[in-house]
Structure 1
Amino acid sequence: MADYTHSFQLFVCLLDQLIQAHPDPDEIWNELKGMDSTLAQIEQETFDGVYMVYQDRYLYSWDTPYAENESTGYQPQSRPWYQNAVKGQGAAVFTPPYMSYANHYILSTISQLQPDQETVFAYDIKMGNIQQLVHQLRQFDQEQLMISDNNGTIIGSDQEAYLGSVLSGETAAAEKALRQAEEARDKITEQGQAKQKAQEEAEAAALFLQFLQTNSPAVKQLLDQPAQVLPVKIDHRRYYGTMQTGESYHVLLLVPLTSLLAQSVQVWLLPLLSIELILVYGLSRIRKELHTRELRQAYIELGQTQKRLEIALKAAQKAAAIDDLTGMMNVKSFCQNVTEQIQHMQENDHGILIFLDGDHFKTINDTYGHQVGDEVIKLASQMIIGRIRTIDLASRLHGDEFAIFVSNTQDYQVARKIVEDINTTLLAESARRHMPNITLSAGAVIATCKSSYPLLAKQADQALYEAKATHNGGFAHA
């Protein structure tokens, strides 16, 4: 947070100079809007806008018409960032992280009361790197992972709807959050972005309340016994869970028992096979000296056991690399295969990593149910596999997110054409099957022999974020 404080002080200097040069609020507002793109280039992915309360006016750097704020009843003086700044009396203070339903990511705000005791400067900080960390930490099928701060606010989760909720063993806070979200939604009478944002916030609050109502005893047990690995029931299934606490942030991890056992197969099966091979070798040596029927029969049986174990090992290794729903590579297998391709690249070799994400997929789940949503995901995977070559790689990362690695090219037009073909065939095939249609937005980055998968994934994810702006099958590249 110290780095953010330093950056914020630079913004404070800029805003002070701006007020000195243009004391009129309307002129300041115009200047702020002109600064937005420049400031975003300086701070890159963490920047999400600067704003202020000045002469009792709310001024900000983005292009949203002020009427949209008025329609929601937005009063900056009642917001935590303003109230915390007043309490801080000139110190730079941070708000607890919260979910921005306008943009679907976690934000924190740093703000500061100015010497006139009225003006407050504020700067929003994107905390999307926490979500990237959550996805990178996932190791088991259908595992659930939540990162919370000291206030219990969920700032990272594989379930995006849970972001911004308060993790607790009781439902009271979640019930209150739902009531407040529904009241805020009902106050907005006109349809538009503000209404949609409020509706999504209410839906997310309802989903998290449902999670707590079903699983409150298990969550309370884990919160009350940190650092312990405990068997619990989540959504009426058997899980192993643990709450790992840190100085400022805490991690709740829930792993289904079935996924744990499936992942463990590779751990115990390979040593077992080695033992069987040793036994076979030892018995074969004995057989040369003792030609008894019993030993020959034991040798045959052990050979059959070896064969069965080899078959089981191959099956277990294949299962560990495949996404159950789509049959595509899972994220772990995809990461390993892309890393291997990069390691075998020569100086002049290139490839393109593409991240794809379904547009409005949540609406399909909410409208038609998760079973139809799964069918849409399977259809999307079929269209992806059908548009790439046998030398290329494709994976379902999680949810409605996919990835493609296109070999032997550095032409972004090739990647763009692949994405366009996928969306075209998705539209045609979903209409033919009478299924709801989604588009896939995509972000791409070129890979070289010097690349690393984590950095490529971060750059592709940033490009995907730009492409998602239209929510209509957009394409962007690093």
Structure 2
Amino acid sequence: MAGSLIAVQETRHIQQVLAQRGEQAQEKLGGVMADYTHSFQLFAQLLQQTLDAHPDPDVIWDDLKTLDRKLAAIEGDTFDGVYMVYQDRYLYSWDTPYSQYESTGYRPQDRPWYQDAVQGQGAIVFTPPYMSYANHYILSTISQLQPDQETVFAYDIKMGNIQQLVRELGSYDQEQLLVYDANGTIIGSTEEAYLGSTLTADAAAAQTALQQARAAMEALEEGTEAWQKAKEQAEAAEAFAQFRKQSEHGLQTLLDQPRKASLIKLGSRQVYGYLSPGEDYQILILVPLGSLLGATAQVWLLPFLVLELILVYGLSRIRKEWNTRELQQAYVELGQTQKRLEIALKAAQKAAAIDDLTGTMNFKSFRQNVTEQIQNMQETDAGILIMLDGDHFKTINDNYGHQVGDEVIKLAAQMIIGRIRTVDLASRLHGDEFAIFIANTQDYTVAQKIVGDINTSLVSESARRHMPNITLSAGAVIVRRGSNYAQLAKVADAALYEAKSSHDGGFAHA
């Protein structure tokens, strides 16, 4: 009975942990998609300015190539070409002669990006993503119908930022994360071979896709570039077919029961799975049972050791006679076990609350402490929640490597801790993202001064240590009694998004 109670408590904790991770992942994914939308808005603004200045289609066609280079410089790897339908003509930014499209009977009005834009009636829409095996990335098109109800702007994007997000979100050993759209197409996965496959299709469909990929490869001349690409596609299809076969029954359970953590079989392994549904994209989390038990030891280890103590003590009572020596020995054993419990509990509590890299609070501990602060507030009390994000941190990783990037993150954490009081809270959330809770104030100028001091000290200290320079942009929101942490975080993130427009340590508040 005691073992069953321990198992129930552990199961509830796992449900809570995976639900929080799913919510966090959806928030991060929403941020990535918002960035893609912002990129398109920039493109649409530049293109509309060009249309207003030079409405002639031939001039527009020439200007698209210039616009193509501007967007490539701004957006980097995300950008993959711009095009439009204007005055019933197909205009694009690349150098392919239009005669090649005419010879195949190509009509842009028949393409999904155009039809989705028309159906969206002025809203910014994403066409269903697909895997480009020629280039090894997921592609999508963002398009928008313009007010004249005929002109459509379109913008191709590489959705590599979703793959980067998946890599950053991984927290457990051998964990798998998969992001897929409404059609079931996998657009983000810790196993890159799964990209472009259809998660919602059954094992038989995955096997059929594998056979088709092999047939396409065998129809080509071995050693050619086309054969090599077809071979890579076949290898990816084989990897996904194996995964789909291993997860046939368990995966269907997760798809049928979103927001519920379930223990399923994945081949010979037992894994906990959780499906976090969103408006347009779903996130599937698969964590091996052993990895989760190790990470949640503070929940089941203490009760298990207590149960062990009770069993040992009870059996010794049955087996041994009551005499002074045996009773004394039992007390010794009790003291030793109690010591083990105290050591195990302290280790588990510390591991659960601290970020390994910076020594600050981790996300879970910070959220719990801020929530407790809110609950203990009086009606007249207030505080400020600040979300911070590094500017150009990806450039540091790309140019200097992740080891230098980790040192920059540790330096940022040191500067944050050094600029707040002992009654305030600081946490590293993920990557180069931090959060601060300033107690006993509702004055945004206080928060802005703290952020300014942090950035000033970062600049001087990084120069002194001969490290790459980084600034932290910040968004702030006032916290009062009865506030909800998740809602506060969303508002602060929105302010942070505004502050990051300058990428130079900006500050904005709700």
Smaller-chain TM-score range?
Answer: 0.5 to 0.7
Q: 1:438 is paired with a residue of what secondary structure?
A: coil
SS of 2:371 mapped into structure 1: helix
1:242 offset after TM fit, Å?
5.1
1:86–1:323 CA distance, 2 compared to 1 (3 A): closer
Structure 1 position 266, deviation (Å) = 1.5
Query: Hey, what's the Cα distance between the residues in 2 that align with 1:53 and 1:446?
Result: 36
Q: Any conservation in 2 of the 1:244–1:250 contact (CA below 8 Å)?
A: yes
The answer for the alignment partner of 1:475 in structure 2 is 507
- Give the distance between the partners of 1:339 and 1:359, measured in 2 at CA: 28
What's the counterpart of residue 69 of structure 1?
A: 67
Amino acid at match of 1:349: D
Distance 1:97 1:66 in 2: 24
Contact 2:386 2:437 in 1 (8 A): yes
TM-score, L = length of structure 1: 0.62
Aligned residue number for residue 84 of structure 1 = 112
CA apart distance, 1:432: 1.5
In structure 2, how many angstroms separate the alpha carbons of the residues matched to 1:215 and 1:309? 48
Give me the whole-angstrom Cα distance separating, in 1, the residues matched to 2:174 and 2:447.
Answer: 30
Q: Cα 1:352–1:397, aligned 2, differ >3 Å: closer, same or farther?
A: same
Contact 2:197 2:237 in 1 (8 A): no
Native 8 Å contact 2:126 2:140 kept in 1: no
1:320 aligns with 2:352: yes
Deviation at 1:75, TM superposition (A): 2.1
Contact 2:64 2:83 in 1 (8 A): no
CA distance, structure 2, for counterparts of residue 409 and residue 343 of structure 1: 16
Partner of 1:432: 464
The answer as to whether partners of 1:444 and 1:464 remain within 8 angstroms in 2 is yes
Is residue 336 of structure 2 the alignment partner of residue 304 of structure 1?
Answer: yes
Paired letter, 1:75: Y
Structure 1: runs of 5+ lacking an equivalent = 1-42, 100-105, 174-211
* Alignment match of 1:95 (pick from 126, 129, 133): 126
8 A Cα contact 1:52 1:119, kept in partner: no
Q: Which residue of 1 aligns with 2:489?
A: 457
- 1:182 alignment counterpart: none
Q: CA deviation at 1:253?
A: 2.2
Q: Which amino acid aligns with 1:301?
A: E
Counterpart of 1:358 (choices 378, 384, 390) is 390
- The count of aligned residue pairs is 371
Unaligned runs of 5+ in 2: 1-33, 54-62, 73-80, 93-107, 131-138, 199-205, 214-232, 252-263
Aligned to 1:391: 423
Match of 1:405 in 2: 437
CA apart distance, 1:53: 13
| Equivalent in the alignment of 1:414 | 446
Deviations 1:67-126 (A, max 9, x none): 852536632236889943654696438433679xxxxxx99856459997x4448999xx
Could you tell me how far 1:427 is from its partner in structure 2?
Answer: 1.3
Measured against aligned partners, the alpha-carbon deviations of 1:104-156 in whole angstroms (never above 9, x if no partner) come to xx99856459997x4448999xx9xx99x999x98758956342114565667
Q: Is the 8 A contact 2:302 2:344 kept in 1?
A: no
Equivalent AA in structure 2 for residue 462 of structure 1: A
**What letter is aligned with 1:84?**
P
* Alpha-carbon displacement from aligned partner over 1:271-324 (angstroms, at most 9, x marks no partner): 12432565698699999x922423321331132012111211121011011111
- Spell out, residue by residue over 1:409-440, the C-alpha distance to the aligned partner (whole angstroms, 9 max, x if none): 00111111111111111111111211111111
* 8 Å Cα contact 1:92/1:112 also seen in 2: yes
Please say if residues 177 and 283 of structure 2, whose CA atoms lie closer than 8 Å, have aligned partners that are also in contact: yes
